[in-house]
Structure 1
Amino acid sequence: MDAGTDRGSRAGRLLRQYPLVALTSLMILATVLLPQFGLEEPVRLLASVYAAAVVLVRSVSMIRTLRKGRWGIDLLALMAVASTVAVGEYLAALVVILMLASGEGLEDFAHGRAVRELRSLLDRAPRFAHREMAGPVLDDVPVDAVVPGDVLVVRPSELVPVDGELLSDSASMDESSLTGESLPVERHRGELLLSGSVNGEAAIRMRATATAADSQYSRIIALVEEASASRAPVVRLADRYAVPFTVLALAMAGTAWLLSGDPVRFAQVLVVATPCPLLIAAPVAFLAGTSQAARKGIIIKNTSTLEQLARARTAVFDKTGTLTSGRPVLDRVELASGPGQDNGEGSDAGRLLQLAASAEQFSSHVLASSVIEAAAARNLRLLPVTQATEHATQGVEAVCGGERVVVGKAGLVGATASGFRAAALQSGQLAVYVAVNGTYAGALIMKDPLRADAMDTLATLHRLGIRHTMLLTGDAHATAAHIAREAGIRHVKAECLPADKVSEVAAIAERPVLMVGDGVNDAPVLAAADVGIAMGAKGATAASESADVVVMLDDLSKVALAVAIGKRTLAVALTSIWTGIGASIALMAVAMTGYIPAVTGALLQELVDLATIVNGLRALHGADRLPGMTSSPAGATSREVEYM
């Protein structure tokens, strides 16, 4: 495509997307150039009719808005256009219309910025996968044909086609397009690979654990589509200053007309009072804020959420998968004969873990994979298994290496083994009991540990202005209190059903309220909170769809970063707004004396516009350098837990 065709294409796209901006720009160009050819009167008539038509059309929607009780800053802009047309200052009227239309265009652009940041992912979506067949043969199949259990090969620099388990010893993955993490991530055998991540320099083997539709890449695409369709009703930040600023501007313009007796003075004051900085300042800042968030792996679905994040006073957390890792790990092995200190192969504790993990291969219980992973971490070889029988929700029986093993809950193991005794558990622990050949052998003590970044995240949120924190969970009181105390959360509500969580959030007085969760049962409360934040990297799709913010990296500290981005964005937007108000008042004061012609006043407003745009772009960066984002001494968040 040549340069001329490309310019024509861009012009056509501008005309389609922002027709008022394009047409007004053409009118201004004609108004400046055509009088040189003796066409001043036709141009004056055309420009005046055009400006009057814009005022009439926009007045219809403005009247509807006023009838609904909403007073927008656009009223003052339309009055400025009408007054300049009335006194013959048609060029000034066109400049004001251009600024009004540009501000609205920037708002639309700001709303869709998060979508555009992620749209490029669609062009890179995996379309084919290399599936292993018999022997060394690879079959290239459409990614939609891959099913869980298929063994795939991913060549160097290729995209991982679906979510799956790494079968090779290790892999270096570029996950930046998914999570915002710029450095390569080392993955090891058995770890999850996310679809859409880029393989490093060596071919790897993996086993698919999800279809393409259920994989991470498709979930991101679904979020992009939702963000594109999401248009929450938002009162523009600048509109909150509409009434006092409009009253002040009209008072100053009326006074100037009254004292001078010249209606042109009224138009001159209103032109410099036209709140173009107010119309443009907030959209530019919010555009920059959503862009910064997207680069950090945080999807913000609409720009109004940034202000809610900035003003948040209460943060509520789910426990499992949010404050904790969501995957129980082995804390210790407790032998029936006494404490087991060595879990390695050859020790009694190691043998017990080896037998339990071998039997758990045939269990679908959520703890089974944790037991198997604990054995693998200790290099314990799984034994051949025969005659395996699973007891739903209770445990599994199997013959492992010639020994009959029963693994599961106390009820199952206690009923089949002699010498059974319940393990002494602390808060936050649970036991997987093991019997061997009809005799109680011991217990595997498991715990769901607090995330490594949970304490720092809570401390950072407090420094950023979050006054109250709460834990809402369906777990027992003892477990919830243990996690809350460890994380530094004071208020706890345990044993909650999803409906209970919604009621608790609705009853919170200190608002706005953030709710952070990741599971399907968190979806209702995420939707009910002022700002729902979903841990979307490993969380449930329903949670991500209900949330206002989705953290694509499995990193709780991103919650604090989202709040910091909101604060940075709001501070920049307010600075621009107050700068615009101050500049407009100063220009109005001068215009009252008659020293600023209408066209000159409109051009001066252009300079103020540029200043607000440049200032608004500061929200593109700097959130991670806010004072509250600095670290605090360990343990600073420790406090007494209070039940609610």
Structure 2
Amino acid sequence: MTQAVRPARDAQPVPAGEGLARRLVRQYPLVVVTIAVLVATLLLRAAGQAVAGGWLGSVWALLVAAQVFRGMVQDIRAGKWGIDLLAVSAIIATVAVGEYVAALVVVLMLTGGQGLEDYAAHRARGELRALLERAPVAAHRLAPDDSVVDVPVGEVVAGDRLLIRPAEVVPVDGTLLSDEAELDESSLTGESLPVPHRAGDPVLSGALNTERAVLVLAGASAEQSQYARIVAMVREATQSQAPVVRLADRYAVPFTVLAFTIAAAAWWWHGDATVVAQVLVVATPCPLLIAAPVAFLAGMSRSAHAGVIIKDAGTLERLAAVRTVAFDKTGTLTYGRPELVTVHARAPWGQDDVLRLAASAEQYSSHVLARSVRDAATARNLVLAPAVDAHEEAAHGVTAHVEGHLVVVGKRAHVAATAQGVPDQQVYPGELAVYVAVDGQGAGVLVLSDQPRADARTTLEELTRLGITDRVVISGDAAPTVAHVAEAVGITRTFAECLPEDKVRLVRDLPNRPVMMVGDGVNDAPVLAVADVGVAMGARGSTAASESADVVILTEDLEKTAAAVRVGRRTMRVALQSIWLGMVLSVGLMLVAATGVIPAVVGALCQEVVDLLSILNALRALRGPAGASPYIEVPQR
């Protein structure tokens, strides 16, 4: 199992109707030829033509050895040392002492490595491959006359009406037009049960429609939709190589030296070159090349099943070593959706009057507080009025004419600059005030509060169990609010009123590394990029944050940050176990072979068993310890 004899990195799709024999010949020609030569050699020997069989087997084995040697030279010129020298030496030694059947078994082991790796990688990539294969290629677009036209998914644009039939995947992000629908979002979020949606609800591309045909209003093109970003991240993840894999390559140097040392000692002790061949045939540790990559693919696949996309295999190694976790506050430790606590109204306006006028003025704003005010009005069944001449000053407030009244909504300083009698409302930690003025007079104050997530404390407890006790909150909000939320979830270190550049500096200066930073907004993108591990939360979070992060959580479950660390640690542990399992067993076999009791053919077969054991052990990264869940279930808010 060496890279020098791999005809292709990945098995290609099998054309429909292609027979097994043709498929094997096309994908693994060296394996097929080696098996044919081995069978022919054994038949010639059984027919009394041992010399002819010996020449046939030896020539083929040496031809493969020459190809391996050529690949080894190319690797050395590229600055990469592998274990190809042991493979070449084993083949030459067995041919030299007349053990041509053993030589062919070694060749079969080497050429068959591609098939074993393909099988293991196929198993390990299960969830990642499912995400790629589900990507829709066509969409059913409704024409103005309501006729259905099938178009490539790349031609869908925002505003198109799309028909999604049962068992079809939503091709683009959009809004549900039908009265109701049940969508299977398990491939996106890990949620096993179908999620009910009603008309007007946002729907994510990649969700599977379950029961009945529904209509969706496209909100974006396919390239700009959530699923396209997920597919791009998955493709990047499957092509990455973890540092631990390169570390395994470096293990090859001392292992090769040790193998030649044992072989030389056996020759000196026995004075028989056959024993040298017997030692070398068990000294080809394919786990160094295959087991670690398989373990990391399995770890990424496992995390994807739980709704966590890990972009590259190297991130898994850094996750395993995380010592500090830094959290943004709004939208990360809290829901990011402030809820109305109370309304303080001033005569002649009542509470519902103040709330309805404020929501009417805010209905065209995209600010998170504006959305919270509108949601509060909707919850009270208040009917919003049209707003005329609406004008928003970013981060300050909104001015609009509503039902003939001049309505100003926003921060106190903004409202007080245009109105009289604006009170200075006292708020408690964790609360914030939205001021409302009507026709130049203070009309009332809306008090809102952004509550900590229900799973925030559970997440911190899980991180503690994982040994991560250095936790901080880094936020741009006021110090009292940040301290209130931090205390509620169990964090004692806080940094408040931070600009994006302050967050970057603070994360760079944190002493206990690696540092994992968790955030969700546009302003979090720079700090996620500089953290050792950047984690972006939420399927509907900022695209900038998702692109700069190393890990993307597709749901609003904060606990999956701890799940990502847990998967990283288990994956790293399984990868190293697989490497050392293969090396220790190989060394043990070499020591036994040095006594001369293991025939070369038996030794080659034993080495193949070692390879299989290491690969099977690496596939353990697909699952957690017995009884473990990929993530902790917490009560939903």
Normalised by the length of structure 2, the TM-score is 0.84
Which of residues 527, 541, 544 is equivalent to 1:542? Answer: 544
Structure 1 residue aligned with 2:509: 507
The corresponding residue for 1:567 is 569
The equivalences for 1:105-184 within 5 A come to: 110=121, 113=125, 115-122=128-135, 124-130=136-142, 133=144, 137=146, 140=149, 142=151, 148=158, 154=164, 157-166=167-176, 170-184=180-194
- 1:525 & 1:91 partners in 2: Cα distance? 60
- Separation (CA, whole Å) in 2 of partners of 1:605 and 1:552: 42
Question: What amino acid is the match of 1:192?
Answer: P
SS of 1:379's partner is coil
Between stretches 492-501 and 144-153, larger displacement belongs to: 144-153
**Alignment match, 2:426:** 424
Q: Which residue of 1 aligns with 2:462?
A: 460
**Offset from partner CA, 1:458-482 (integer Å, 9 cap, x none):** 2212212324223333334333333
Question: Aligned to 2:417, what secondary structure does the other structure show?
Answer: helix
CA contact (8 A) 1:175 1:184 kept: yes
Q: 1:90 to 1:116 in 2, by over 3 A?
A: farther
Change (3 A) 1:547 1:103: farther
Displacement after TM superposition at 1:3 (Å): 9.2
Q: Check if 1:259 corresponds to 2:269.
A: yes
Shift in alpha-carbon separation, 1:188–1:227, aligned structure 2, 3 A: same
Query: May I ask how many residue pairs the two structures share in their alignment?
Result: 615
Q: CA deviation at 1:190?
A: 4.3
Superposition pairs of residues 394-405 of structure 1, within 5 angstroms? 394-405=396-407
Q: Which runs of 5+ in 2 are unaligned?
A: 1-13
TM-superposed CA distance for 1:609, in Å, is 2.2
Normalised TM-score (structure 1):
0.83
Q: 1:555 maps to which residue? A: 557
Per the alignment, residue 478 of structure 1 pairs with 480
Q: Does 424-433 or 235-244 show the bigger shift?
A: 235-244
Equivalent residue for 1:333?
343
**Structure 1 residue 220: Cα displacement:** 2.3
**Aligned with 2:18: secondary structure?**
helix
Letter matched to residue 492 of structure 1: T
**Deviation (angstroms), 1:401:** 4.0
Structure 2: distance between partners of 1:535 and 1:495: 21
Question: How far, CA to CA, are the matches of 2:596 and 2:513 in structure 1?
Answer: 48
User: CA 1:118–1:104 in structure 2 vs 1: closer, same or farther (change >3 Å)?
Assistant: same
Match of 1:342 in 2: none
Residues 202, 329 of structure 1: CA spacing in aligned structure 2 closer, same or farther, 3 A cutoff?
Answer: farther
Q: CA deviation at 1:324?
A: 2.6
Shift of residue 60, structure 1, vs aligned partner:
1.0
Counterpart check, 1:295 vs 2:302: no
What residue in structure 1 maps to residue 220 of structure 2? 210
Distance 1:43 1:606, change over 3 A: same
Report the secondary structure of 2:19's partner residue: helix
Give matches, 1:212-231, under 5 Å.
212-227=222-237, 230=240
Partner of 1:580: 582
Distance 1:544 1:92, change over 3 A: farther
Amino acid at match of 2:76: I
Q: CA deviation at 1:386?
A: 4.4
Find the partner of 2:97 among 55, 64, 87. Answer: 87
Q: 1:30 to 1:484 in 2, by over 3 A?
A: farther
3-state SS of the aligned residue for 1:273? coil
Which residue pairs with 1:344 in the alignment? none
Question: Superposition pairs for residues 226-237 of structure 1, below 5 Å?
Answer: 226-227=236-237, 230=240, 235-236=245-246
Q: Per the alignment, do residues 227 and 591 of structure 1 end up closer, same or farther by CA in structure 2, a change over 3 Å counting?
A: closer
Deviation for aligned residue 1:271: 2.0
AA paired with 1:292?
R
CA distance in 2, matches of 1:4, 1:482: 65
Which one of the candidate residues 56, 81, 85 is aligned to 1:43?
A: 56
Q: 1:359 to 1:521 in 2, by over 3 A?
A: closer
**Alpha-carbon shift at residue 406 of structure 1 (Å):** 2.1
- Distance of 1:500 and 1:85 partners within structure 2: 67
Q: Deviations over 1:20-72 (max 9, x none)?
A: 6566555545544555564314313413421430342133145346xx5x654
Q: CA deviation at 1:76?
A: 4.1
Distance of 1:271 and 1:502 partners within structure 2: 53
Change (3 A) 1:381 1:442: same
Q: Is the 8 A contact 2:245 2:293 kept in 1?
A: no
Contact 1:171 1:186 in 2 (8 A): yes
Give 1:623 deviation, angstroms: 5.4
| Counterpart-to-counterpart distance in 2, 1:95 and 1:496 | 65
2: CA distance, partners of 1:118 / 1:190: 26
Among candidates 366, 369, 372, match of residue 370 of structure 1: 372
CA contact (8 A) 2:242 2:293 kept: no
Match of 1:238 in 2: 248
Structure 1 partner of 2:73? 60
Separation in structure 2 between the aligned mates of residue 116 and residue 294 of structure 1, nearest angstrom: 10
In 2: Cα distance, 1:25 partner to 1:544 partner: 49
Instruction: State the partner residue of 1:341.
Output: none
Given the superposition, is the C-alpha separation of residues 578 and 368 from structure 1 closer, same or farther in structure 2, using an over 3 Å criterion?
A: same
Distance in 2 (CA, whole Å) between partners of 1:360 and 1:336 is: 20
How far did residue 242 of structure 1 move? 3.7
Q: Is the 8 A contact 2:282 2:603 kept in 1?
A: yes
Offset, 1:602: 0.7
The one-letter code sitting in structure 2 at the alignment partner of 1:327 is R
Determine the structure 2 residue equivalent to 1:439.
Answer: 441
Q: Aligned equivalents of 1:47 and 1:144: distance in 2?
A: 50
Q: Percent identity?
A: 54
Q: Which amino acid aligns with 1:505?
A: V
Q: Which amino acid counterpart does residue 224 of structure 2 have in structure 1?
A: D
> Cα 1:8–1:47, aligned 2, differ >3 Å: closer, same or farther?
closer
Corresponding residue number in structure 1 for 2:325:
315
Distance 2:224 2:634 in 1: 39
* Superposition deviation, residue 73 in structure 1: 4.8
Deviation for aligned residue 1:357: 0.9
How many Å separate the matches in 2 of 1:469 and 1:619? 27
Contact between 1:538 and 1:554, CA under 8 Å: does it hold in 2? no
* AA matched with 1:459: E
Contact preservation (8 Å) 1:565, 1:623: no
Q: Is the 8 A contact 2:121 2:297 kept in 1?
A: yes
Contact 1:28/1:94, CA 8 A, preserved across alignment: yes
Given residue 6 of structure 1, which amino acid in structure 2 is its aligned partner? G
Letter in 2 for 1:214: Q
Distance in structure 2 (CA, Å) of the matches to 1:255 and 1:276: 23
Contact 1:288/1:617 (8 A) holds in 2: yes
Runs of 5+ unmatched residues, structure 1:
339-346, 634-644
Greater displacement, 98-107 / 80-89: 98-107
Rounded Cα–Cα distance in structure 2 between residues aligned with 1:494 and 1:96:
63
